[in-house]
Amino acid sequence: MRAAASALLGFALLLAAGCGEERDPTEADKGGWRIAAGTYGNVVPDTGNGGMRGMEVVLDRGDASASADFVRCQGTCEASGKRALRRGLNGVSFAIDHGGRTIDVLVGPAGPDAVEISADWGQGIESHRLPKIARAVGQPAVDDAAAPIAPAPPAPLVPSSPPPLPSPTP
């Protein structure tokens, strides 16, 4: 009985030994994962319908950002606006509304110049690697779609009566 208790205590101490703060590199700011500031995306033209396809996320301060701008394109591009970030052990996440559901979108590092986006869009969890890009593609498409259509220029006025006759007196 005493040997079992000693073995159990030794096992518990062994498990706890690796849990110290200096040994857990999974958290940012402790030598673990990092996400660099920038725009990450894979939005491309969709030849099938003339629209765009892919996703884009902007992290203005990387994993230290307070919020993220997220765009998802499936024919047309839909922006979710600025979303507050939550930090986790392996990345950051934010919630968006999609089809009447709240979806958690997870953003994790995928190397020094890419992130991996994971979310359940209604057909199981999908993960996509988004490389760092020089400029946004999806957000300008959202802005263009939201811009009001300029009204047509007014039609020239057609006179409804004949022009006046010249005066007979000089």
Q: For residue 31, name the pLDDT band (cuts at 50, 70, 90).
A: low
Q: Give the three-state DSSP class for 96.
A: strand
pLDDT at 5: 45
What b-and-e string marks burial along 31-55, b requiring 16 or more CB atoms within 10 Å of the CB?
eebebeebbbbbbeeeeeeeebbbb
**How buried is residue 107: exposed, middle or buried, by Cβ count under 10 Å (0-12/13-18/19+)?**
buried
pLDDT of 126 strictly over 80: yes
Q: Could you tell me which residue, 45 or 132, shows the higher pLDDT?
A: 132
Q: How far does CA 120 lie from the centroid of its chain?
A: 14
Residue 74's contacts (CB-CB under 8 Å, 6 or more residues apart) are 51, 53
Higher pLDDT, 14 or 43: 43
Where residue 45 falls among pLDDT bands split at 50, 70, 90?
Answer: confident
Does residue 169 sit in helix, strand or coil?
Answer: coil
Which pLDDT does position 46 carry in this prediction? 82
Q: Give the angle 129-135-139 at the CA atoms, nearest 5°.
A: 80
For 118-129, give the secondary structure using H, E and C.
EEECCCCEEEEE
pLDDT-derived band at 163, boundaries 50, 70, 90: low
Specify the CATH number for 28-145; select among 2.30.30, 2.40.128, 2.60.40, 3.40.30.
Answer: 2.40.128
Report the percentage of the chain scoring pLDDT > 70.
64
What mean pLDDT do residues 140-157 have?
55
13 pLDDT higher than 50: no
Cβ contact 122:25 at 8 Å: no
Contact assessment for residue 55 and residue 70, using Cβ atoms and an 8 Å cutoff: yes
The secondary element (H helix, E strand) that includes residue 13 is helix 2-17
Question: Mean pLDDT over all residues of the chain?
Answer: 75
What pLDDT is attached to residue 133? Answer: 92
Angle made by CA atoms 45, 46, 52, in degrees to the nearest 5:
60
Confidence (pTM): 0.65
